[in-house]
Amino acid sequence: MRQSPIYNIPFQNIQEKNMPFEVVFNHIADFMKLNPAGNFRLMVGTDSQVHKKHTVFITGIVIRQVGNGVWGCIRKVMIPRRMTHLHERISYELSLTEEIVSMFTEERKSQLIEIVLPAVYEGATFTMEGHIDIGIGKRNKTSEFVKEMVARMESMGVEPKIKPNAFVASSYANRYTKNE
């Protein structure tokens, strides 16, 4: 199977630029090893912004130890046209999130679970979430897509989160979509 060229797009954060996924994964594992008895949430989400001549998609990856810090990074994808149809844009956001989630292969997820496994009886946990920038409110233009997008996340074995609980997409990634 040929890898998509999108797999080669690097990640970045305030401390580091041009991180390949392997470096990102190692940062996540190292963060978890600091306190293996913690409650960890690995969250992935994408947001987009339509600009004058292009559309920017930012996917965020955040590992959070509940009550004890976070580590995160983003990946930027630029499409050289205005994506004005909401369903197309939301669907592409989710495709980018799915792509990152798929990089966390069963082997990689097992490596992360093995970090907390010795402390499971002390309350250690690890969950993986897909944050989708949609909501169910009547005034929310994306509400008609909730069932479809949630089902896509669930089919990957990832816990879907929508607004207001999808903060990696709606807050973290969102802040980087405006800088164009």
Interatomic CA distance for residues 142 and 146, integer angstroms = 7
pLDDT by position in tens, the chain (length 180): 444 555 678 999 999 999 999 999 999 999 999 999 999 999 999 999 999 999 999 999 999 998 899 999 999 999 999 999 999 999 999 999 999 999 999 999 999 999 999 999 999 999 999 999 988 877 778 888 899 999 999 999 999 999 999 988 888 877 778 765
Interatomic CA distance for residues 180 and 55, integer angstroms = 10
pLDDT of the residue at 180: 56
> Which of 2, 22, 3, 91 minimizes the C-alpha distance to 11?
22
Token pair for residue 9?
């797009």
Q: How far is CA 101 from CA 15, 58, 83, 93, in A?
A: 23, 14, 23, 12
pLDDT of the residue at 117: 96
Which contiguous run of DSSP H or E holds residue 167?
A: helix 167-167
pLDDT of the residue at 37: 95
Handedness of CA 57, 135, 72, 95 (dihedral sign): negative
Token pair for residue 57?
């998609």
pLDDT of the residue at 5: 54
pLDDT of the residue at 1: 44
| Alpha helix segments (H runs only) across 15-157 | 21-33, 86-103, 106-116, 146-155
pLDDT of the residue at 169: 86
Sequence letter at residue 67 = G
pLDDT of the residue at 110: 97
Residue 16 and residue 7 in contact, taking contact as beta carbons nearer than 8 Å: no
pLDDT of the residue at 3: 47
pTM for this prediction = 0.92
